[in-house]
Amino acid sequence: MNRFIQTLKNIYKIEDLRKRIMYTLGIILIYRIGSYVALPGVNPAGLTALQSQTDSGLMGLINMFSGGAFSNASIFALGIMPYISASIVVQLLGIAVPYFQKLQREGESGRKKMNQITRYLTVIILIFQSPAYIANLVRTIGSHHIYPFEPGVSMGIFSPFGISSILILTAGSMFVMWLGERITDKGIGNGISLIIMVGIIANLPFALVAEFASRFESGGGGLVIFLVELVVLVAVILMCILLVQGTRRVPVQFAKRIVGNKQFGGVRQYVPLKVNAAGVMPIIFAQAIMFLPITLVGFSTSETMSGFARAFSNYNGFWYNFVFALLIIAFTYFYTAITINPTQMAEDMKKNGGFIPGIKPGKKTSQYLDGILSKITLPGSFFLAFVAVLPAIVHLGGVNSQFAQFFGGTSLLIMVGVILDTLQQIESHLMMRHYDGLTKTGRIKGRSGGFTGR
């Protein structure tokens, strides 16, 4: 406890770090307030039906990612996911389209152009998603809950209410994206990831209370079962931390002193290759893809959906989780490939006089690193997929659907990854100014491959 208090004092002493943390908290506060600001013309008293619709199922998952803004018919209802979807498309184009490959090689100027393209694509996606949300809103709460609150008045997407709401939803999501970028530039941590995490963690108290209450109902199992669930939750959190921090160390020998043609001594260092080098990005990407079916059918109710849409809108169902797991495995390899370049690593070693014992510098080193990366990425991707579908497995055991989302899945992995990444940045500020770190070892390992998208 004394160490914790001293750490807080050290953080307060560092003016730059203190300002960054306060700036980040201020931006998060703006985001949370905005998630409760309803669209102009919507009667908040009539949102009960929409909130019931988002209690469970894929709608509930979408609502969780928006921090409850979806069920509040908020100006931020569509959240940050359209921006992430656009980023997925642009990064995939960076592999297949020569123009985008050229932009990737242009460095900072190319990155700025790709970010601009991502923003334009986000607007296009929002133009399609906003009408779907408005159509579902009107159908769910009824036109009598929308200004002028008169039955029979058209409230379709081409009505004044529909057009204005589409513009507001589009502007709201772009504003959320801008808030995330401001956190990344002037705050602490990765802004986009923090906004996603804040939206998720806002649902934790309600899910915890709901699960606690359900355990005291008839046949719920009582306090003992609830405590067992908490123990299992802690164990899953520890597994997620191991997944984020796990590494394979590759020894690299560097020359220490060379006299004539003879080498005397040397220093051995290690290249840490992460078991999950892609971090939480594969699961965010896969989740964004899995949101597409519900968007394509216009947020219809399950009775009117086709068999395909119904199967992929049940996040506790077999086909949803099977495809979800496959996408995570594929995106893990994809994101690892664009994050870590074995050829560049081998070239850097060679330039600095380093080599892996028993492996020739250059192409052989690159192939060796690529082989190790492939071997450790395979189990990492399978473990990531298992943790992602764990909520569906836990739900089968009788856990409340809202609370089950925190037993792994997208929510827990994002929370663990973002928290570790933010703590690592705070610790870096402390260590740089010769203060003790947040832990006794002073080495918090953040996730790799955080969502930059700026």
Which of 174-183, 358-367, 408-417 is predicted least confidently?
Answer: 408-417
Nearest alpha carbon to residue 291 among 423, 406, 408, 129: 129
Predicted confidence at residue 214, as pLDDT, reads 81
- 227 Cβ contact partners less than 8 Å away, ≥ 6 residues apart: none
pLDDT bin (cut points 50, 70, 90) of residue 120 is: very high
By mean pLDDT, which of 19-23, 74-78, 210-214, 400-404 is the weakest?
400-404
Q: Residue 250 in contact with residue 345, Cβ under 8 Å?
A: no
Within 8 A by CB and 6+ apart from 228, the residues are none
pLDDT band with cut points at 50, 70 and 90 for residue 307: low
Higher pLDDT, 33 or 81: 33
Which pLDDT score, from 0 to 100, does residue 448 have? 46
Structure confidence at residue 453 (pLDDT): 45
Which residue spans of the chain are classified as CATH 1.10.3370.10?
A: 15-200, 203-454
Phi (first) and psi of residue 309, to 5 degrees: -65, -35
Reply yes or no on whether the pLDDT at 372 is more than 50. yes
Return the DSSP state at 446: P
Options 1.10.3370.10, 3.40.50.2000, 3.10.20.600, 3.40.720.10; CATH for 203-454 is: 1.10.3370.10
pLDDT at 171 over 90: yes
- The SS3 of residue 274 is strand
**pLDDT at site 1:** 62
Residue in 225, 221, 262, 201 with CA at minimum distance from that of residue 402: 201
Question: Which of 33-47, 239-253, 414-428 shows the lowest per-residue confidence on average (mean pLDDT)?
Answer: 239-253
Question: Residue range 429-447: average pLDDT?
Answer: 62
**Mean pLDDT of all residues belonging to the chain:** 78
Question: Residue 449 above 50 pLDDT?
Answer: no
Q: Of 26-35, 155-164, 260-269, 355-364, which one has max mean pLDDT? A: 26-35
Rounded CA-CA distance 126/167 in Å is 9
- Indicate the class that CATH gives domain 15-200: mainly alpha
Report how far apart the first and last C-alpha atoms of the chain are (Å, whole number): 38
Tokens of 155: 């409230």
pLDDT confidence of residue 99:
86
d(CA 74, CA 53): 15
**pLDDT score recorded for residue 441:** 53
CA–CA distances in Å: residue 213 to residues 225, 228, 405: 12, 15, 17
The pLDDT score that the predictor gives to residue 31 is 92
Check residue 448 and report its DSSP letter: S
Query: Global pTM?
Result: 0.74
For residues 196-207, give the mean pLDDT.
Answer: 83
Does residue 144 have a pLDDT over 60? yes
CA 334, CA 341: separation in Å to the nearest integer? Answer: 12
Residues 320-340, mean pLDDT to the nearest whole number: 85
Q: Is the confidence at residue 454, as pLDDT, over 70?
A: no
Whole-number percent of the chain with pLDDT over 90: 8
Of all residues in the chain, what percent carry a pLDDT higher than 70? 81
Structure tokens given for 436: 């003790």
Q: Please answer whether residues 59 and 53 qualify as being in contact, where contact means their C-beta atoms are separated by less than 8 angstroms.
A: yes
In contact, 194 and 422? CB cutoff 8 Å? yes
306 compared with 203, residue with greater pLDDT: 203
Q: According to the model, what pLDDT value does residue 158 have?
A: 72
Least confident of 125-134, 310-319, 368-377: 310-319
pLDDT, tens digit (0-9, with 9 covering 90-100), for 16-53: 888 889 999 999 999 999 998 888 888 887 888 787 77
Q: What is the pLDDT of residue 311?
A: 65
Residue 79 backbone class (left: φ over 0; alpha: ψ -120 to 50; beta: rest): left
Question: For 348-365, how does the pLDDT look when each residue is reduced to its tens digit (9 = 90+)?
Answer: 888 877 778 888 888 888
Task: Considering only CA atoms, give the Rg of the chain.
Answer: 24
Question: Could you tell me the two tokens for 225?
Answer: 């079962």
